[in-house]
A and B are shown apart, each in its own frame.
Chain A
Amino acid sequence: SYELTQPPSVSVSPGQTARITCSADALPKQFAYWYQQKPGQAPVQVIYKDTERPSGIPERFSGSSSGTTVTLTISGVQAEDEADYYCQSADISGAHRVFGGGTKLTVL
């Protein structure tokens, strides 16, 4: 089955830059999306179509794509950014959506 690979955890100090990667073979052909999930809450989309930011999402969240890897970058990390982050895309057919395993961002 098609899989998206994320690191299980990333740790940064407040004010630093956090980068969370997501890798899969079909990423050059399918858009990637990123979601933030805090404990007990539903996920929130923070990046869509690789690099676009939904309204209401702070400018410190950005997305990029290079080959088979997409990256979520959080610049000037704040304590409130501590959460689980999931990448999401589709398989090569586009019919089936898929999530990465999630990355726990810890703000030290």
Chain B
Amino acid sequence: QVTLRESGPALVKPTQTLTLTCTFSGFSLSTLGMCVSWIRQPPGKALEWLALIDWDDVKYYSPSLKTRLSISKDTSKNQVVLTMTNMDPVDTATYYCTRSPLPGGFDFWGQGTLVTVSS
């Protein structure tokens, strides 16, 4: 049974750095072709892909946000961590962690965590 769970602060201040952790079970991120992605959704708006890390520790980022994002993994702990710097109120969104096996879809999702950016 595949599960993913996001954890992190519900509230961050503008200019702060957001750190989110995805803890997963039911699959291994060291398996060939396996990846984990982060996706966000501002209230009432569309989904936006943020970043992906693959089994070989290769990382991809949204071109529009790549200067602010960093993704990493701890395979032994079954965790993937996303950091986003210089947070702004427009970054207020529900952040989802997803399993994303090649070639490219997102087949399992966490329940999401709402992050609000406000002073």
Contact = CB atoms under 8 A, between A and B. Distances in A.
Interface residues of B, number: 23
A30 B49 contact: no
Nearest to A2: B63
A89 B63 contact: no
B63 A45 contact: no
- Say which size band chain A's interface belongs to: 20 to 34
A1 B63 CA distance: 8
Interface stretch (A11-19, A66-74, A75-83, A92-100): A92-100
Interface of B: 37, 39, 46-49, 52, 60-64, 96, 100, 103-107, 109-112
8 contacts: A30-B104, A31-B103, A35-B106, A42-B110, A42-B112, A96-B62, A99-B46, A101-B46
Interface of A: 1, 30-31, 33, 35, 37, 42-45, 48-49, 54, 86, 88-90, 94-102
